[in-house]
Amino acid sequence: MDLDFKSLTDFYQKNQEPMILDKIYNDNDKFANLKVTFNDFAKDRYNNSCKQFTAIFIRNWQYLKRNPRSWNGIVFNGFFTGLLTLSLYIHIGRFPEEKIEQGGPEFIGWIYNLSGLGFLLANNISFSSSSSVILQMPLMVPVFKREVANNMYTPSTYYLGRFFSHMILQLFYPVSFVCIVFWGLNIDESWQNWLMFVLYAGLLNLAMNAQGYFCGVLTDDDQGAN
């Protein structure tokens, strides 16, 4: 027997194909009245919102723990950005009253420098926090649609579960950033002032995380989200 393509095709059509088609027809007849979809399995499934939120939170948190590069990247980004900020504004809080006239040009310049520092700090935390989470929802759209169709959870619990689990991770950025910047500004270095600094940075971080998630849910395309 020649093993060329035509001979193999003829052999299949004469010997194998009729048997395979016969099996297919028999199976079709056997299960002709069986019509089941994933929605049929899930139509009676119900879990309360608390259980749904807990499941999503734990699943996402376990995924984040298995990806140490995310932690390292966020902390390194905070330290590196803090050092860059200090290279521009180190010891900006120093105000020698005996050398600077109150209301004079040097005093006005000092006030402008402090305003510039505040603007830079707010922008660094805002854009880094928002851009780091904006793709979280678009990238998970296929999984989200499948699991919502199976009544595994509602859209609101999915959103909140992912938001709060990422929120813990994202807080490492403003904390690491503040730890570098705060001690080099030559301002009031009391613990109360440091805690207020961290608190304001953390609140800004959370607000911009929420904005990033909100922008992410407006589209199911990662290109559109960017």
- 140-186 tens-digit pLDDT: 888 888 877 777 788 888 888 888 888 888 888 888 888 888 888 88
Please give the pLDDT value at position 29: 66
The tokens describing 80, both together, are 């590196």
Please give the pLDDT value at position 96: 61
Please give the pLDDT value at position 32: 62
Instruction: Name the phi and psi angles at 221, rounded to 5.
Output: -120, 125
Please give the pLDDT value at position 127: 86
Reported for 15-20, long-range contacts at CB under 8 A and 24+ positions apart, including other chains, are none
Please give the pLDDT value at position 42: 56
**Ranges of the chain whose pLDDT falls below 70:** 1-3, 27-46, 95-103, 221-226
The tokens describing 210, both together, are 């929420």
Enumerate the H helices of the chain as residue ranges: 5-11, 17-30, 38-42, 49-65, 68-89, 105-131, 136-139, 141-149, 155-170, 172-181, 191-217, 222-225
Structural Rg of the chain based on CA atoms:
30
Give the predicted TM-score (pTM) of the model. 0.67
Name every residue whose Cβ is closer than 8 Å to that of residue 159 and which is 6 or more positions away in sequence: 137, 213, 217
Please give the pLDDT value at position 31: 62
Please give the pLDDT value at position 26: 75
Q: Is 81 exposed, middle or buried (0-12, 13-18, 19+ CB in 10 A)?
A: buried
Measured between alpha carbons, how far is 17 from 112 in angstroms, rounded to an integer? 84
